[in-house]
Amino acid sequence: MKKIIVSFLITASLFQFSCVTSWQPVVTYNTAIPDNRLIGTWNSEGQDYIVERVFESAVYKKQKNEPITPLIKKGIKDSILYSKSYIMRYTKDKIEYHFFCSMIKINNEVFMNMIVADITSINNGGDISELHLSQNWLDRLHTYTIARVQFTNTNIIKLDFIDGSFIYDKIKNGRMKLKHESDDLYDTFVITASPNELQQFIQKYGNDDRFFDKENSVTLIRKS
């Protein structure tokens, strides 16, 4: 449970929101869709975010040169998923965060998985990597965050994060059914459903505006 809390706090640091997290991704190699409108430098409330294709990203190039990493021995399924996915990175308080992002279309809308891929402390011109993409994918205790992606135009993207509090309340009251685990001591809630179950869940409830946390929707404005 400690790892879940740490992972949640890291993910929540990207944007300040109360989000739903899951052990499993909603996006798989055979459901992932690319959309290169995501690529570029974006800004939200004074914070810059850079989005690159996985194979062109700095974190991929760095990690594939390390002596022990599944990135070198990636299978066909991983290669397909990587080719359709992106790395979003930003720097705050001398720490560079990298998030692995992949997308899926459900009910004619686009949803994104986000998971921490790498955290690097910038120290006097050097860097110390604290968390690796390879470690995240091998350790299911690192959780995924899910958001709806709306491309207003080529220069504006809106991310609507699924409201974890709303879903938890509905599940707790028996109005929604989805595999999950909770810890009242730490006030945490994590979904344990399979990717297919997650897709069916979003297909059933994703058209309900209450499904998303409107107060914590994030708008990204293109800089370049």
- The answer to whether the CB of 96 falls within 8 A of the CB of 120 is yes
Phi first, then psi: what are they for 174, rounded to 5°?
A: 80, 15
Q: Where are the domains of the chain?
A: 2-222
59 or 49, which is more confident? 49
- The answer to whether the CB of 224 falls within 8 A of the CB of 40 is yes
Global pTM value: 0.83
Cα gap 180→102, rounded to integer Å: 22
Closest CA to 117 of 158, 164, 71: 71
Tokens read off for 24: 């499993």
- Average pLDDT score, the chain: 81
- The answer to whether the CB of 172 falls within 8 A of the CB of 79 is no
Lowest mean pLDDT among 17-26, 32-41, 95-104: 17-26
Determine the distance from the C-alpha atom of residue 138 to the mean position of all C-alpha atoms in its chain, rounded to a whole number.
16
How does residue 156 score in pLDDT terms, banded at 50, 70 and 90? very high
Which of 3-17, 94-108, 117-131, 141-155 shows the highest mean pLDDT? 94-108
Neighbours of 187 (CB within 10 A): 8
Please give the angle made by the CA atoms of 212, 49 and 162, to the nearest 5 degrees: 10
Instruction: Using DSSP bridges, classify how beta strands 21-22 and 144-153 pair: parallel, antiparallel or unpaired.
Output: antiparallel
134 or 82, which is more confident? 82
